Structure 1
Amino acid sequence: MNAAKRYEIFRRLHEDNPEPKTELAYSSPFELLIAVILSAQATDVGVNKATAKLFPVANTPEAIYALGVEGLSAYIKTIGLFNSKAKNVIETCRLLVEQHGGQVPQTREALEALPGVGRKTANVVLNTAFRQLTMAVDTHIFRVSNRTGIAPGKTVLEVEKKLLKFVPKEFLLDSHHWLILHGRYVCQARKPRCGSCLIEDLCEYKHKTSDD
Structure 2
Amino acid sequence: MTGEGRARGDLRVDAVRTAEHPMAFTRDDLWRGGLTTWALFAGLLPVCIGVNMLVYIRGSVVPISDTALQFLFLLFVVTLFAALIALLLVPLGVLLAWPVGLALRGVRSQAVHLVAFALLGTAVAAVYLAFAGAFSGLTAFGPGELFLVTPAIAVAVATPLGWWITARNAVRRDARSVPDQPRSCNGNSIAPVSPD
Q: Compare the two structures and name the one with the higher helix fraction.
A: 2
Tell me the TM-score normalised to structure 1 length: 0.27
**Greater C-alpha Rg:** 2
Tell me the TM-score normalised to structure 2 length: 0.29
Q: Which has the higher contact order (CA 8 A, sep 6+)?
A: 2
